[in-house]
Amino acid sequence: MYSIIYVEESVRDMPQTIEILNRYQNAAIVDCSHYGELFNRRKQNFRTQKKEPTLIIARKENKRILPIPGEYAIDAKHNFYFSHMLNCLYDCRYCFLQGMFRSASHVIFVNYSDFKTDLTSHIENTEDSICFYSGYDCDSLALDPITDFTRNFIPLFKPYQHAFLELRTKSTQIRNLLTMEPLPNIICAFSLSPNEIVGKYEAKTPSLNARLAAISSLRDAGWNIALRFDPIIFVDDFYTVYKQFFHQIYAALGSRSIHSITLGSFRLPKIFHKNMKRLYPDEPLLINGLSLTNGQIAYEENLEKKLISWCENTLKNLDSVTPVYIQRSTV
């Protein structure tokens, strides 16, 4: 998949690095001193790079665990996110990473032991519930066969009943999870959209049916499943499309319990939206029906409220048990 891999000198001999490089024997390996020299360089074209991203293997030196942005949290008292990766295999047209990062290169931070030390110290610092989100700057599972993220991080949570880890994903890369003991404090949170939206705006992602099949396998194996409907997109024939979509999900998943549902309508921080419009100037999704609302580019406030409340009511009619959380801001 990668024809060029940049490797920070400081991680060149780490086992995780060696394992990744062994998978790509034909790739050109290029040494670099710090990933930021490549990743944060000016005048890069995210759209062009996305077609054939390079891989950068690096060390995350500091600020490994960060407070979650805006209303990303669900119900834990303390909420943080961390990123063992930057960027994503998939190419969702609405993805805010395109507006946030200068480069589409995939960065994998392989100093897992530093992340684990920081996670443990945060967890042991409190007796309150504490949740960590791993899918903010990337998809948590899409590159799991390469990063081995789940096998490295999930066992850390086993002794701590008050600590939770959310894996947020559109991926069907669940092989590692299926070989592991399911833990009650791990939340496998699947981002789902109607088929019409997957086909139009979620390039390279698994189909809705494939994601539902992955969810069923994980549930059968005993893992917690959560559903993430974010972004809700105001497509033509919205109410018919989303009604059929929600019914399809509940028909596929049956009545067994779901950990949580989150709902958020399409929205972007103003600066990210500006950057994304530069990449896709003719993309109707980034133009039609949007305005500056509460500091973000979003649907007009009344429309947004109407869409979210309709989705919430429709879901509650199908499932009166699972808690539904509304999420508003991206960063």
CB 166 within 8 A of CB 204: no
Residue (139 or 304) nearer to ligand SF4, CB: 139
Measure CA 330 to chain center.
12
104 near ligand SF4, judged by CB under 6 A: no
Could you say which residues in the range 229-288 bind ligand SF4, by CB under 6 A? none
Neighbours of 20 (CB within 10 A): 23
Task: For the CB of residue 134, give the shortest distance to ligand SF4 in the complex, in Å.
Answer: 12
For residue 193, give the nearest of 155, 152, 246 by alpha carbon: 246
Task: For the CB of residue 255, give the shortest distance to ligand SF4 in the complex, in Å.
Answer: 28
Could you say which residues in the range 135-194 bind ligand SF4, by CB under 6 A? 138-139, 170
Three-state DSSP class for residue 148 = coil
Residue (101 or 242) nearer to ligand SF4, CB: 101
How far apart (Å, rounded) are the C-alpha atoms in residues 101 and 312? Answer: 32
Residue (95 or 165) nearer to ligand SF4, CB: 95
Task: For the CB of residue 16, give the shortest distance to ligand SF4 in the complex, in Å.
Answer: 21
Could you say which residues in the range 69-98 bind ligand SF4, by CB under 6 A? 88, 90-92, 95, 97
How far apart (Å, rounded) are the C-alpha atoms in residues 216 and 72? Answer: 25
Residue (6 or 99) nearer to ligand SF4, CB: 99
Residue (50 or 259) nearer to ligand SF4, CB: 50
**DSSP bridge partners of 263:** 229, 326
SS3 content of the chain, % helix, strand, coil (to 5): 35, 25, 40
Binding site for ligand SF4 (CB under 6 A): 88, 90-92, 95, 97, 138-139, 170
